[in-house]
Chain A
Amino acid sequence: MTKKHISFQLNGRPVDALVEPRELLVHVIREQLGLTGTHIGCETSHCGACTIDLNGDSVKACTVLAMQADGGDVMTVEGLADNGALHPLQEAFMQEHGLQCGFCTPGMLIRAYRFLKKNPNPSDEEIRTGMSGNLCRCTGYQNIIKAVKAAAEKMQSA
C-alpha cells in the first residue's frame, strides 16, 4: 500500500511519519513514534484507554486515522508533565489512589486534562458525566473522581 507522509505536533514537538492511509493514529503513536503510554483496550472507541488530545478535543486514537492528525496538534500522557514536574492531575491520581493496574490511567489523565480545561470547577456529577467515555475495571471510579476534584482545586488556587 502506498504510504503517505504526515507531520504533526506531538507533545509540543514536530514529528514526521510515513503511514498507510488506513493506519490508525494509536498504532503510529505507539509503534512508529515509540510513545506506548497510550493504550488499546477495545479498538471500538468504548473503553477510552487510547484517549489522546487532538486539536483541543479528547479523541479515541483507536478509531482515528493517522492521516487525520496531519498538521494537527496531539498531546498524549507523556506530554502532561512539564520538564519533569508532574501535572496536578498526575499528582492527584497518586495522592487519591486513583489507579490500580494503570492500564486506563493515561487515557483517564488526558481526558481529565481536557475536561478541566472546559470545566475548571466541576461537581462530582459533572465529573461522572464528563469522564464517562473512559472505562476502568479496577477502581470503581470513586477515587478518580476525588483525584479530578483535588486537581481542579489545586489548579484553581494556582
Chain B
Amino acid sequence: MSTSTEKLEREEKLEGIGCSRKRKEDPRFIQGKGNYVDDVKLPGTLFADIVRSPYAHARIKSINKDKALAVPGVHAVLTAADLKPLNLHWMPTLAGDVQAVLADEKVHFQYQEVAVVIADNRYIAADAVDLVEVEYEALPVLVDPHKAMDADAPILREDIKEKADDGKGAHKHPNHIFTWEVGDDEATTQAFNAADVVVTEKMYYPRVHPSPLETCGCVASFDKVKSHLTLYITSQAPHIVRTVVSLLSGIPESKVRVISPDIGGGFGNKVGVYPGYVTAIVASIVLGRPVKWIEDRMEHLSTTAWARDYHMTGALAADKEGRIKALRVNVLADHGAFNSHAQPTKWPAGLFSICTGSYDIPVAHAKVEGVYTNKAPGGVAYRCSFRVTEAVYVIERMMDILAQKLGIDKAEIRRRNFVKPEQFPYHTALGWELDSGDYPKALQKVLEAVDYDGLRREQQEKRARGELMGIGLVTFTEIVGAGPSKACDILGVGMFESAEIRVHPTGSVVARMGTLSTGQGHQTTYAQIIATELGLPSEDIQIEEGDTDTAPYGLGTYGSRSTPVGGAATAMAARKIRDKAARIAAHLLEVSADDLDWEVDRFKVKGVPGQEKTMKEVAWAAYNNVPDGMEMGLEATNYYDPPNFTYPFGAYLCVIDIDKCTGEAKVRRFYALDDCGTRINPMIIEGQIHGGLTEGFAVAMGQQMPFDEQGNLLGNTFMDYFIPTFVETPFWETDYTVTPSPHHPLGAKGVAESPHVGSIPCFTSAIVDAFSHLGVTHMDMPHNAYRVWRKIHELGLDKHE
C-alpha cells in the first residue's frame, strides 16, 4: 500500500500544478539561442524600409521614386498607387475600421507610412528612403480630442466621411467614431439627485506605449511555384494574423503559414496587423524573394499601437457613511487617425464597464465617446485586459476622493463598500458576473503586513514637521480571460482557446496550443497542468505554440487569457485523455472503469492493493492493447469556450516620500497582494507580478506621449520616453490569497496584468495622499519630478520660512 510520503514523492516528481518549476525556455535564452524574428535568415532575403510622413495632416501632391530606384541594390519602391490594383492600399482594423497601408492621397498622422523601399540590405534601404521625394501640402491639424467634433474642426477621414453609420450608431460628426453607453442613465441621475454626498473629478489617463524591448517586424516569404506564403512575425495572435492575411491577399488560409517565433515582449503591442507587415508580404509576392522588415525604436514608438488616452470624468453619489449609491463615468477617447484598437467586436470601449470595481454599487452609468485625431492609431490593452486599466483607475481614484470628502480613512471606505464574500457570484450594475472573491481578507492581510496604523501615525508626525509622505491604497478587481464567445469575438471568430495533446507510446507528450508565450513561460506552465492531469512528468512534456501549420486555431495571448482560457482548454483536453486511459486501464486490469481510483500517476482498483496501472503503462497499451471497439492512440483536442470571464483581484499599498526641493517621489515600500485563484507556478507568478508592477510604475511616474500643436510627437526615443532602469525601479514585496474561480476547470484566473492595472492608481493614490491634507484631491499622471514639484510650488511648500 502506498504511504502518503511515497505518494507525495511521486507527486513531486511530476512537477505539476503548484510547484515553482524552473523554466523550460531558459536554456536557449541564456545561451543566445533564442529565435526572434530578426534572427530568421532565409537565403536571398531583401530588406524593407519605410518612408514616413513628417506632417501630421497633409495632402500628398506627388511622390518621385526616381532617385531612390537609381541606387544600386534597390529593387522596388512601392506606394499606395502600386498597392491599389491589388486592393491592398487599405486594410481592415481589428475594430471594424480601415487603415491606410500606405498613405492614399493624404497623411493622417506624423510618421505615417507613405512608401516602402525594398533593397539588398538595410543600409541601402535606409539610403534610398532618404531619396524618395514626397511633396506635401500641409492641412490644418486636429490634436485636441475635445475639439474633434467642433463645427470648424478639420475633417480627417475623407475616405469614410459619407458613411453615416458603420454599425456602431449614427455619427454626430465626421470625426466621431462611436458613442457607447451602458447602465441605467435615469436611475443613476435619480440616485445622484437624492444622495447626501456627491464627488466629481476630471482625470486624464495619458497616451502611453507598451514598448516591448523587441520592436515589431516580420519576414515574408512567398513561394511562387507553390503559391504558398510563410510569414515569420512578432505577433501575439498568429492565427488571427493568418486569417487577416488570407482575407486580404486572397491566398487560401491553408497556403498561409504564420510563425510567431520567440517574441521579445508584447504587452498588447503585438496583437494587430501593421502596414509594415502588409508591405513586406506584397513585396515578397511581387519580387518572389523573402522580404524582411524590422522597425527601429523610433518607428515603433511613433506608429505602433499605444494605449489609454482617456479623458475621464468620474462621479460617485453616497450617503453620509460613505456607502455608495451610484457611479457615473463619462469618457472622451482619443483613438488617433484610424480606429484600430484591439477589442472584442461588440465592445467599442472594451471591458471598461468593469469600472464598478470591487464595490457593491446599486446603479451606474458609463458613456464612452471615441473620436479621430491626427495621431497614430492604437488604443490597445497595454498589459491589461481591454480598457480595464482605465476603468480600475477611475473607480479607485473616486474611492479615495469620496473618502477624503467624508473624512473617512481610505481603507475604511473600501471596507464599507466591498462586494462581500457571500454575495458571489455577484452581478454588477453594468452587467458583469464577478465569479469569486474575498476582498476584505485581502485588504486586511495587507494592512497588517505593513502596519497601516503605524504608517498613518508616522505620516501625521511628518506632516507636523512639514514633510511630504503619501500612502496609496488600491483594492482592484480585474476582468480577464476573454472570453465567452457569445460576448466576445475578433473579426467574427469567437474568443475560445485550444489545446491538442498527444501522448506517445513511451508516455512522453507533445502538446500544442493556440496561445503564444511572449515571456510568460507557457512551455513550463502548460506542461505542469498536463503533468498533474495525466500523471506524467513535466520534463517529458513538450509544449509548442506559434506555428499555424501545426498548432490548433487560437485567438492568442493578451488580456491575461492564456491561463483562464488556454489553461482551461489544456486541462479539458488532458481530462479527455484521462477518461480514455481509465477505460484502457480497466480493460488491462479486467475491471470496470468505475472500480478504479485515480491517484497521482496511476489507476488503482478500489480496495485491491497492488492492482494498478500507471499512466505510462496505459500509454503503451493505447498503441497495442485497447478494449474491443476502441480507437487506438492516446490524444485529444479541446476548444474551450469559457462560460464567464475570470475576475482576479488584489490589494496594493504604496508608501512614497517626496523631496520638497526637487519634487522627486521615492517609493519607500510597495506591498502587492494578488489573488489569481489557483496558482500554477508561484515562481512565474511572482516574476509576472514584479514585471507588471514595474510597468505600472513606468506609466504612473513617467510615461507619456506628448504632441505639440502641429501633431509632432515629442517623445519617441528611449531618451524621452520613460523606461525605468535598475536604478529607479522600486523593490517589490508580494503576497497572495487563493480564491479559486468556480467555473474554471483548475480554479485559475490569470495574473500577469493585475499588477499593472492595480499599481497605477496605487501610485497616484500615494502621490495625492502626500498632499491630501492640503485639499488636493487628484493629480494627473505622470508623476515625474517636474510635475510633482510644480504642485509643491503651487502650494507654496518650497518656500523657506
A contacts, CB < 8 Å to B: 20, 22-23, 27, 30-31, 34-44, 46-47, 49, 76-78, 80-81, 86, 90, 93-95, 97, 99-106, 109, 127-129, 131-145
Question: In whole angstroms, how far apart are the Cα atoms of A106 and B472 in the complex?
Answer: 36
Q: Which residue of A lies closest to B718 (CB)?
A: A46
Within 8 A of A (CB), among B630-686: 683-684, 686
List 14 A-B pairs, Cβ < 8 Å: A36-B39, A37-B31, A37-B32, A41-B297, A42-B717, A47-B213, A86-B30, A95-B22, A101-B212, A103-B34, A135-B213, A137-B211, A137-B723, A138-B265
Do residues B36 and A39 form an inter-chain contact, with CB atoms below 8 A? yes
Question: In whole angstroms, how far apart are the Cα atoms of A53 and B430 in the complex?
Answer: 56
Given contacts A23-B123, A135-B723, contact A78 B297 (CB under 8 A): no
Question: How many whole Å from B3's CB to the nearest CB in chain A?
Answer: 31
Question: Which of B262, B267, B691 contacts A139 (CB under 8 A)?
Answer: B691
Within 8 A of A (CB), among B190-236: 211-215
Question: In whole angstroms, how far apart are the Cα atoms of A22 and B39 in the complex?
Answer: 21
Residues of A within 8 A of B723 (CB): 46-47, 135, 137
Do residues B694 and A102 form an inter-chain contact, with CB atoms below 8 A? no
Residues of A within 8 A of B717 (CB): 42, 44, 46
Do residues A135 and B718 form an inter-chain contact, with CB atoms below 8 A? yes
Within 8 A of A (CB), among B234-278: 262-265, 267
Residues of B within 8 A of A104 (CB): 213
Question: Which of B265, B692, B718 contacts A103 (CB under 8 A)?
Answer: B265
Q: Which residue of A lies closest to B690 (CB)?
A: A140
Question: How many whole Å from A109's CB to the nearest CB in chain B?
Answer: 7
Question: How many whole Å from B147's CB to the nearest CB in chain A?
Answer: 34
> Which of B308-316, B354-362, B515-523, B761-769 lies at the binding interface?
B515-523
Question: Which of B36, B683, B727, B731 contacts A129 (CB under 8 A)?
Answer: B727
Question: How many whole Å from A49's CB to the nearest CB in chain B?
Answer: 6
Is B90 located at the chain interface by the 8 A CB criterion?
Answer: no
Question: How many whole Å from B12's CB to the nearest CB in chain A?
Answer: 18
Do residues B29 and A99 form an inter-chain contact, with CB atoms below 8 A? yes
Question: In whole angstroms, how far apart are the Cα atoms of A106 and B687 in the complex?
Answer: 18
Q: Which residue of B lies closest to A49 (CB)?
A: B213
Do residues B31 and A136 form an inter-chain contact, with CB atoms below 8 A? no
Q: Which residue of A lies closest to B684 (CB)?
A: A97
Question: How many whole Å from B534's CB to the nearest CB in chain A?
Answer: 25
B contacts, CB < 8 Å to A: 22-23, 25-36, 38-39, 41, 122-123, 211-215, 262-265, 267, 294, 296-297, 518-521, 683-684, 686-688, 690-695, 717-719, 723, 725-727, 729, 731-732
Q: Which residue of B lies closest to A40 (CB)?
A: B38
Given contacts A39-B214, A41-B214, A103-B264, contact A140 B29 (CB under 8 A): no
Residues of A within 8 A of B521 (CB): 100
Closest 5 CB pairs of A and B: A37-B32, A103-B264, A102-B29, A101-B519, A140-B690
Interface of A: prevailing SS: loop
Do residues A143 and B297 form an inter-chain contact, with CB atoms below 8 A? no
Do residues A142 and B265 form an inter-chain contact, with CB atoms below 8 A? no
B264, B294, B688, B694: residue with the most chain A Cβ atoms closer than 10 Å: B264
Do residues B32 and A127 form an inter-chain contact, with CB atoms below 8 A? no
Given contacts A22-B123, A47-B718, A103-B36, contact A140 B729 (CB under 8 A): yes
Residues of B within 8 A of A127 (CB): 726
A86, A102, A139: residue with the most chain B Cβ atoms closer than 10 Å: A102
Do residues B31 and A78 form an inter-chain contact, with CB atoms below 8 A? yes
Do residues A142 and B36 form an inter-chain contact, with CB atoms below 8 A? no
Residues of A within 8 A of B122 (CB): 27
Question: In whole angstroms, how far apart are the Cα atoms of A93 and B22 in the complex?
Answer: 10
Residues of B within 8 A of A35 (CB): 32
Given contacts A39-B264, A103-B264, contact A142 B690 (CB under 8 A): yes
Question: In whole angstroms, how far apart are the Cα atoms of A131 and B518 in the complex?
Answer: 24
Question: Which of A23, A31, A100, A145 contacts B691 (CB under 8 A)?
Answer: A100
Question: In whole angstroms, how far apart are the Cα atoms of A43 and B30 in the complex?
Answer: 22
Do residues B726 and A105 form an inter-chain contact, with CB atoms below 8 A? no
Question: In whole angstroms, how far apart are the Cα atoms of A49 and B684 in the complex?
Answer: 22
Do residues A137 and B267 form an inter-chain contact, with CB atoms below 8 A? yes
A31, A41, A95, A139: residue with the most chain B Cβ atoms closer than 10 Å: A41
| Extra A-B contacts (7), CB below 8 Å, given A47-B718, A100-B691 | A37-B32, A102-B26, A102-B519, A103-B212, A103-B265, A139-B687, A141-B729
Residues of A within 8 A of B27 (CB): 94
Question: How many whole Å from A23's CB to the nearest CB in chain B?
Answer: 7
Do residues A77 and B264 form an inter-chain contact, with CB atoms below 8 A? no
